[in-house]
Structure 1
Amino acid sequence: MKKKILFVIDSLICAGAEKSLVTLLSLLDYSKYEVDLQLFHYGGEFEPFLPQEVHLLHPLEYTCFAEKSILAQIKDILCGKYFRFFIARLNFSLKLRLHKQANNIMKARLYWETVGSVIPQSKQKYDYAIAYAQGIPTFYVGDKITANKKYAWVNVSYRLMGKEKIYQYNFYKCFNSIVLVSDSAKNVFQNIYPDLIEKMIVIWDILDYSFIKQLSQKDKSYTDGFLGDRIITVARLNKYQKGYDIALDACNILKNRGIKFKWYALGKGGFRQEMEQYIKEHNLEDYFILLGTTPNPYPYIKDAALYVQTSRHEGFGLSIAEARLLNIPVVTTEFDAVYNQMINGKNGLVVSQNPIAVANAIEHILKDKNLYNSIVNYLKNEKKGNSEEIQKFYQLLDA
C-alpha cells in the first residue's frame, strides 16, 4: 500500500522554496507514495509544473472567504454564512493596523492567533505531513493535521527573538524532524533552539540539472535588442532580505561611471512601488528593468552575461545555484550561507553588503575578460545538480 504524504506551503509563486518543492515533487517515486498538496493561495506561476500524480487539494474554506470582496463577504453573512470567518478576518486586519511595522514572521503569528481557530481540523490522516515553509504552513501542520510523522522545512536563515521565538517553539518541538536547507541555516536555527538540535537535519534544495537545462532552451528571453552586457537578478522584490536597495544604488553607481549594461529583475513583491520611484528619480529606466514574474526564468539567466544577488540573508541561495548550473558568472553579497556554494574568485565574486562593493565587482568582472573567462571555464567543470539529495528525503521518511 502506498504511503500518504501531505505537503503544505503558502503558494507556488515564483520563489525559491516554491521552486524547490516543485523539483522535489518531480523526482518522487509515485509507485510508493500518494501525495496531497495544500496551498493557502492558488494561481502561482509554478502550479503548471506540478507532476500530474500530485493531488492539489481544494482551497481551505476560510481562504475562499478571505479572497472575496468585502461586499461578497457581507452578503454571505446576511445569508447566515461564515460569521466566524468574518470576525476572524476583521480581527486580523485590526491587528495588522495596530502593528504597522510587523515583519512577515510577526504577521504569520498574528494570522494564526486570529484565524487559526476558525480553520477546522483536517479529516484526512497521513503517514507523513510536511510543512515546506516557515510560518503559517508550520502552524497548520502542527495544529490541524493528523499524521504518523510530521516534518518542518526551514528554507531561510530563520532568526526568531522574543515573543516570536517563544510562540514558534511550541510548534517546532512537536515535529519529528526539522529540515534545514544548508549548514549555515542549521547553525542559525540551533542557536535559537539548542534543545531541538537532535531533531535537526540538513537536506539541500534539490537542483535537477537536466530539467533546468531543458527549460533554459524552451522559451524566449529578452526582446529589447540590447547589445551590451545584461545583468539578471531573480528574487522577490523585497528591500531588506533580498537587498534590492543595494542593487539599485549599485546600478546608479555603474550608470554614473558610464558602464554599458542593463540590469533586469525577475520577481514581484511589496518593494516594487518604491523601486519604480527610485528608478524614475535616478533616471534608471534604461538601466534597471523590472520584468515581473515568469514560471521559466532560465532563458533569462542563460542569456545574461552576469547573475547578481544582493541579499542580506539567504537560507541557501537557490537562484545563484541555478545560474552556476547554466555557467553564468555570479556576483553576490556575503550573506550567511553564501560559502556553501561560492568560491570567491573561482565561480564568481563575493563582496560585502554595500552598493560600492557590488558596483566595483560588477565592473571588474565585466571588464576583465581573462577573469570572466576563467570563471566560465570553472563553472563548466563544476558538478552539475544534486538530485541525489532525494535519497536523504527517503531516508528521512524511513527513519
Structure 2
Amino acid sequence: MKKILIFSHALELGGAERALLGLLNSLDYEKYEIDLFLMRHQGELLRFLPKQVHLLPEIGAYTCLAVPIADVIKKKRADVLLGRINGKRNAQKFIRQNSLPVDNGVELEYSHKYTRKYMPKINEKDYDLAISFLTPHYFVTEKVNASKKIAWIHTDYSNIEIDEESELKMWDAYDHIVSISDACTRGFCCKFPGLEDKIIRIDNIIPAELIKEQADAFDVSEEMPEDGSIRLLSVGRFCNAKNFDSVPDICSRLMKTGLKIKWYLIGFGPDETLIREKIQEANMEDHVIVLGKKINPYPYMKACDLYVQPSRYEGNCVSVHEAQVLGKSVVITNYATAKSQLKDGVDGMIVPMDHEECAKGIAKILNDSQKMKALCEYCEKNNFVNNKEVEKLYAIL
C-alpha cells in the first residue's frame, strides 16, 4: 500500500477543515495507508474522522503554534517562545515598513517560519506523498520524509497582503501546489507567476451523503421559528473576510423594501463583538440573530429560506456548496472568485458588494418565487457529489 501523510492544524469548525473531512472520506483505504498529523488534537470535527485514518500522536512543540503566547509560556517551551517572539517582532517590523492593513497574512507565516528550527520531525517514516493542507507550509518540506510533497491553496491571494519574497521560498519547496478553483489560481499567480506550472486544480470534496444525514439530526424550530418571517442564513468564521459585520445594514435596507426578514448568523471568531455592535447601531436586534458556534450547521441550512454568503473574499466557499447539496437557493456577493463559485442565475445568484445594491439583489430574488423554485430544483437535481476529484491526487502518485 502507498503511504500518504496529511498535515494540518486542528479540526475546529471551518470550511477548510470540512473540506479536509471531505477528502478523508473519499480516499480508498484499501489502496492507501493514511496518516493524519494535527498540530493540536482539538476541534468539534475530530469526532467525524473516518475510522480508517491513523491519527498520529501530538508533539508538544507543535501544540505551541497558532495559540496565544501565554499558552506557550505555561507549557514552558522556551525555544518555541523565542521563535514566536522573533516572528512577531519581525512581522510587525515588515508590516510597519510596508504600511500593511491589520488583516494580513504576515504574522501567521512568520510565526511558523521563525519556529521551524525548533520543531522535531513528525516521525521517521518514509511516505509516498506528504500533503500540507493549511498554510503556512513550512513543516512538511523540512520535517517529513516523502517522495513527493504538495501544499494546498484555500484562499484568494489577490485579497491578502503578504511578504511575497518570504512566501515564494515556502511555496517553491513543494513539487505541486493544489488550488481549489481557477479563480484561486489566478489570484495566486498574481503574487507568484513563476509557480504557475506547479499548480493542479482539485476542487473541495463535498461529503453530500453525510451532510444530508446530519441535516435531519435535530429540530431547529425553537431557534429559527416559522413566524412568517423570511429566514436568511449565513455560516462562517466571524472575521473580516466573511463580512458579517455588513449584514445588519444590508438587512435594514432589505426590510425597507417591505419584506419581513430574520437573518441568522452561525459561526464564531474575532469579529463577534463588532458584529453585535453593528446590530445595535442598525437597530436590528430583532432581525439579525447571532446563533453562534454550531457543530452541526446543516439542520439550520435545511430550515432556511435563502442561504446568503456576503463575503469580501473567498477561495471556494465550502458552506455555499453545502447549502446547494441541501437544495437551497443561494445568494453570494460579487467577490473576486464568485463566478468560479457558482453559475449566476443557474445554481445561485451573485449580487453586488455595495450594501444598497446587495439588498436590492436579495429582495429581487425573494420576490421572484419562480426563480427561487428553479434554483432549488437545479440544486436538488445536481447532487454536487465530486468524490472523483480525489483521483487527481492519486495521479500525482
Candidates 75, 79, 87, aligned match of 1:84: 79
Letter in 1 for 2:166: Y
Letter in 2 for 1:143: E
1:201 aligns with 2:210: no
Aligned-partner SS, 1:159:
helix
Aligned-partner SS, 1:302:
helix
Residues 158, 191 of structure 2: 8 Å contact kept: yes
Aligned-partner SS, 1:251:
helix
CA distance 1:191–1:47, change in 2 (3 Å): same
Letter in 2 for 1:115: T
What residue number does 1:153 align with? 152
Letter in 1 for 2:133: Y
Deviates more, 1:254-263 or 1:332-341: 254-263
2-structure distance, mates of 1:71, 1:304: 39
Aligned-partner SS, 1:390:
helix
CA distance 1:33–1:182, change in 2 (3 Å): same
1-structure distance, mates of 2:255, 2:10: 37
2-structure distance, mates of 1:254, 1:340: 26
1:251 aligns with 2:251: yes
Residues 332, 358 of structure 1: 8 Å contact kept: no
Residues 158, 190 of structure 2: 8 Å contact kept: no
1:8 aligns with 2:7: yes
2-structure distance, mates of 1:266, 1:357: 24
2-structure distance, mates of 1:235, 1:89: 28
CA distance 1:95–1:40, change in 2 (3 Å): farther
What residue number does 1:168 align with? 167
1:115 aligns with 2:110: no
Residues 9, 133 of structure 1: 8 Å contact kept: yes
Cα shift readout 1:46-102 (whole Å, capped 9, x = no counterpart): 11110112122233312445769959946x75xxxx332343344455557766955
Aligned-partner SS, 1:207:
coil
Cα offset for 1:26?
1.1
Cα shift readout 1:316-373 (whole Å, capped 9, x = no counterpart): 1221111111111111111222222422223222111111122112222222222222
What residue number does 2:262 align with? 262
CA distance 1:63–1:260, change in 2 (3 Å): same
TM alignment of 1:208-287, pairs within 5 A: 208-224=207-223, 225-227=225-227, 228-239=229-240, 241-287=241-287
TM alignment of 1:96-135, pairs within 5 A: 102-125=102-125, 126-135=127-136
Residues 317, 338 of structure 1: 8 Å contact kept: no
What residue number does 2:307 align with? 307
RMSD: 2.5
Letter in 2 for 1:269: G
Cα shift readout 1:101-122 (whole Å, capped 9, x = no counterpart): 5545101222024322221233
Cα offset for 1:130?
0.3
Letter in 1 for 2:134: A
2-structure distance, mates of 1:54, 1:110: 31
CA distance 1:42–1:292, change in 2 (3 Å): farther
Deviates more, 1:334-343 or 1:46-55: 334-343
2-structure distance, mates of 1:378, 1:86: 52
TM alignment of 1:367-378, pairs within 5 A: 367-378=367-378
CA distance 1:131–1:65, change in 2 (3 Å): closer
What residue number does 2:39 align with? 40
Letter in 2 for 1:368: D
TM alignment of 1:354-365, pairs within 5 A: 354-365=354-365
Residues 83, 114 of structure 2: 8 Å contact kept: yes
Percent identity between the two aligned chains:
30
Aligned-partner SS, 1:246:
helix
1-structure distance, mates of 2:186, 2:71: 48
2-structure distance, mates of 1:351, 1:382: 22
Deviates more, 1:44-53 or 1:57-66: 57-66
2-structure distance, mates of 1:68, 1:127: 34
Aligned-partner SS, 1:264:
strand
CA distance 1:19–1:249, change in 2 (3 Å): same
How many pairs are equivalent? 388
CA distance 1:311–1:160, change in 2 (3 Å): closer
1-structure distance, mates of 2:78, 2:377: 63
Aligned-partner SS, 2:158:
coil
Residues 246, 353 of structure 1: 8 Å contact kept: no
Residues 16, 318 of structure 1: 8 Å contact kept: yes
Q: Which runs of 5+ in 2 are unaligned?
A: none
2-structure distance, mates of 1:355, 1:157: 22
Letter in 2 for 1:88: G
Residues 160, 192 of structure 1: 8 Å contact kept: no
1-structure distance, mates of 2:339, 2:82: 47
Cα shift readout 1:170-190 (whole Å, capped 9, x = no counterpart): 121121111100111112222
What residue number does 2:298 align with? 298
1-structure distance, mates of 2:146, 2:201: 22
CA distance 1:123–1:333, change in 2 (3 Å): same
Aligned-partner SS, 2:232:
strand
Letter in 1 for 2:237: R
Aligned-partner SS, 1:58:
coil
Residues 12, 45 of structure 1: 8 Å contact kept: yes
Letter in 2 for 1:158: Y
Cα offset for 1:123?
3.1
CA distance 1:163–1:44, change in 2 (3 Å): closer
Q: Which runs of 5+ in 1 are unaligned?
A: none
2-structure distance, mates of 1:339, 1:129: 31
Aligned-partner SS, 1:206:
coil
1-structure distance, mates of 2:42, 2:91: 25
CA distance 1:95–1:366, change in 2 (3 Å): same
What residue number does 1:390 align with? 390
